[in-house]
Amino acid sequence: MRTNRSDDRVFQNRFLESLTHTHIAVPLTIFYGSGLTLLFLTVFWGIFSAGASIGFFALGLFVFSLVEYLVHRYAFHIEPDSDAKAKFQYAAHGVHHDFPKDKSRLAMPPLVSMALATGFFFLYRLLMGDVGMPFTGGFLAGYAAYLTVHYVVHAYRAPNNMFKILWTHHAIHHHVENDRAFGVSSPLWDVVLGTMPRAKKGKTSVQVKH
């Protein structure tokens, strides 16, 4: 996945290049805040009971985990068999694989992610009616949770507890098998869809601090 670039720039244009960087606190504030606000308003306006709202919110979280997996596998790792696909793949995700320690590129630029979030909100409202409101809240919170896990896995040393599996799983994707281990916030969909690492447990040596 390494390119011939001599530096870590995606665009030569300064403005466009600036859009590829963001501090992690910005999207976390936007998406945790938006998700929880949608949940609160659903209850406050009496659209659904608190229990039902939380249930739809949780469903949105769960669905996002699948979307996370599918986007990572089929969009971010698209086969770059044309110049257009190669440019998209590098700008969207390849640069992260080339420079995994660049903390400013561990999330999509807020303008891009907010546009996508707005699109998902109207889509789910159209398809689900009132259910779309708490569902989108959970979906956005799911994205924020994914960002949290992704940032922590890259920025901090793996702990000596059960959460170490997330560090190891993602490190295998980066350094051993980039066509496996697509789940970031959870290996659930790798298990379900058959993309767990091929190497047998105990046979793969991988540095879990990127």
- pLDDT digits 0-9 by tens, 27-44: 899 999 999 999 999 999
Which of the pair, 128 or 99, is modelled with greater confidence?
128
Going by C-alpha positions, the residue among 130, 137, 134, 149 that lies closest to residue 24 is: 149
Of the pLDDT bands very low, low, confident and very high (cuts 50, 70, 90), residue 75 is: confident
- At 114, list the tokens: 């907010």
What's the mean pLDDT when you consider all of the chain? Answer: 81
Give the percent of the chain with pLDDT over 90: 47
Residue 204: pLDDT above 50? no
- At 136, list the tokens: 């989108």
Q: What is the pLDDT of residue 190?
A: 96
Which of the pair, 33 or 83, is modelled with greater confidence?
33
Which of the pair, 50 or 6, is modelled with greater confidence?
50
In the chain, where are the structural domains located? 14-156
Contacts of 94 (CB under 8 A, 6+ apart): 1, 3
- pLDDT digits 0-9 by tens, 100-157: 566 666 566 677 778 888 999 999 999 999 999 999 999 999 999 999 998 888 888 9
Query: Given CA atoms 75, 80, 85, 90 in this order, what sign does their dihedral have?
Result: positive
pTM: 0.80
